[in-house]
Amino acid sequence: MSLRHAVLGLIAEFRGSGYDLMKVFGKTLSHVWVATQGQVYTELNKLADDGLIAVSEPGPRGRKQYTATDAGRAELRHWLAETRPVPHPRSEHLLRVYFLGSLPPDQARDYLAWLGETHTAQAEQLRQISDELAGLTSDTSRYSRLVVEYGIRNAAMTAEWAAWAITQLGETEQHRENPGR
Amino acid sequence: MSLRHAVLGLIAEFRGSGYDLMKVFGKTLSHVWVATQGQVYTELNKLADDGLIAVSEPGPRGRKQYTATDAGRAELRHWLAETRPVPHPRSEHLLRVYFLGSLPPDQARDYLAWLGETHTAQAEQLRQISDELAGLTSDTSRYSRLVVEYGIRNAAMTAEWAAWAITQLGETEQHRENPGR
DNA sequence: GTAAACATGTAACAGGTTACATGATTGT
DNA sequence: ACAATCATGTAACCTGTTACATGTTTAC
């Protein structure tokens, strides 16, 4: 039920419309949690039915403004303080690495090189976001800075690992080319 | 459709029954891709219908032995060499960090400390698996060693980041306690 | 004999994805 | 007038989760 808490948390922090939320999911949260428009609008209606958020009367373009209720904020704090995430690992890139033995070595290397390049680029991109955030000192931006820093470290670690993995393949390759040496 | 390729890949590498596959998902792949028993049995039947794997006649306890067909191995290579994963980030732990501002600072710190501890323990656990794997030199174990090494680096990086994040909170805390100094 | 492990399957439900459908307002 | 952006919603489909249902073989 994490999508529910993602939506609830955003309303508690920023208040706004479903449209506003979709912009946050598309930018700030895009490397943390993905959500589709259909999901967000459906969840907002469910949260309102359950009394965790309150809806304003529809404004100009049918726009609805949502705000967190006391019950909503309590539920958010309960989720954060009294529950712990259970891991659901689902890493397509590691799954592919696991099966890379089905490919000729040079194609396996291509995949690892591609992984390294995309993550190097991602680290660079996140460093720019981090620099932009560094200027602000709001309460909200404090924790989002931690999240961005995690992204940078994760991307850098993945790129380094990919480079190391390629050297490992090279070494075992040589053993095969010169067996018994 | 990654579950499909996970199942296909395992059959291509090890051949065996649905029951055998569930053991691999429960151990080796447990930190890479999670799957339930229902999913695996359903997918095996679909893969067999599509001609990507072949089924033996049911043996002793209704056991079915699966093997990859040429079409199956071709599909696996196609997936690995000619497609690239699209990212679907869904990190509950980062989502929680993003909303940690809703909690009093000491409870936010508790969460980060817990994250650090669990990842330190995980790194240790994976190092043991890595040591066990180090003895083997099979073709299959080569790539699984890369996967385990990724897990170690990821866990270590996360634990270091959590420790750093706690120091960051401490610093901004002091600014609040002594404003204007 | 009985518990553990082997072995397969399905049904109900929850969650996620894609695509469609509709209309208002703003800027050029 | 027209395009872009704002704004909400639903339906069909696919994937994933939980729980149930059933029977066999091995080891003690």
CA separation for the pair B116, B161 (Å, rounded): 8
Structure tokens at B16: 């065996």
Residue B67: phi and psi, rounded to 5, are: -135, 150
CA of A107, C1' of C18: distance in angstroms? 32
3-class SS letters over B40-58: HHHHHHHHHHCCCEEECCC
User: Parallel, antiparallel, or unpaired: how do β-strands B53-55 and B66-68 relate?
Assistant: antiparallel
d(CA A91, CA B150): 11
pLDDT of residue B115: 98
Tokens of B124: 């240790």
A2-16, A62-76, A121-135: range with lowest mean pLDDT: A121-135
Residues B75/B57, Cβ–Cβ less than 8 Å: no
Strand partners, A33: B90
Model confidence at A176: pLDDT above 60 = no
Q: What is the pLDDT of residue A133?
A: 87
| Closest Cα in chain A, distance from residue B97 (Å) | 6
Interface list for A 35-64 with B (CB within 8 A) = none
> What number of CA atoms fall less than 13 Å from residue A109's CA on the CB side?
11
- Residue B30 CB lies within 7 Å of the nucleic strand C: no
CA closest to B161 among chain A residues: A150
d(CA A112, CA B93): 26
Cβ atoms A56, A64 nearer than 8 A: yes
b/e sequence B114-138, b meaning 16+ C-beta within 10 Å = ebbebbbebbeebbebeeebeeeee
Does the predicted TM-score (pTM) go above 0.75? yes
Is the shortest CB-to-strand distance from A3 to strand C under 7 Å?
A: yes
pLDDT tens-place string over residues A30-67: 999 999 999 999 999 999 999 999 999 998 999 999 99
Bases of chain C below 7 A from a protein C-beta are 6-12, 14-20, 23-26
Q: Which nucleotides of D are covered by protein (CB under 7 A)?
A: 6-12, 15-20, 23-26
Distance B63 CA to D22 C1' (A): 14
Instruction: For residue A181, name the pLDDT band (cuts at 50, 70, 90).
Output: very low
**Residue B176: per-residue pLDDT:** 52
Name residues of chain B where pLDDT drops below 50: 180-181
Answer whether B113's CB lies under 8 Å from B170's CB: no
Helix (H) or strand (E) holding A67: strand A66-68
Q: What is the 3-state secondary structure (H, E, C) of chain B?
A: CHHHHHHHHHHHHHCECHHHHHHHHHCCCCCCECCCHHHHHHHHHHHHHCCCEEECCCCCCCCCCEEECHHHHHHHHHHHHHCCCCCCCECHHHHHHHCHHHCCHHHHHHHHHHHHHHHHHHHHHHHHHHHHHHCCCCHHHHHHHHHHHHHHHHHHHHHHHHHHHHHHHHHHHHHHHCCCC
Q: Give the list of residues 6+ apart from residue A97 with CB closer than 8 angstroms, or none.
A: A111, A112, A165, B143, B146, B147, B150
- Between CA B38 and C1' D17 the distance (Å) reads 9
Instruction: Note which residues in 88-147 of chain B have CB less than 8 A from chain A.
Output: 88-103, 107-108, 110-111, 114, 139-140, 142-147
Alpha carbons A79 and A6: distance in angstroms, whole number: 11
Looking at every residue in chain B, the average pLDDT score rounds to: 93
* B143/A101 CB distance under 8 A: yes
Question: In B, which residues are within 8 Å of A98 by CB distance?
Answer: 9, 29, 32, 143-144, 147
Contacts of B6 (CB under 8 A, 6+ apart): A95, B25, B29, B33, B35
- The b/e string for A134-145 (b: 16+ C-beta within 10 A; e otherwise) is eeeeeeebbbbb
Please give the C-alpha separations between residue B110 and each of A1, A143, A150, B129, B166, in angstroms, as whole numbers: 22, 14, 18, 29, 9
Interval A110-152: pLDDT, tens: 999 999 999 999 999 999 999 988 887 776 779 999 999 999 9
Confidence of residue A178 (pLDDT cuts 50, 70, 90): low
CB pairs under 8 A between A and B: 177
pLDDT category, A172, cuts 50, 70, 90? low
- Cβ neighbours, 10 Å, residue A122: 19
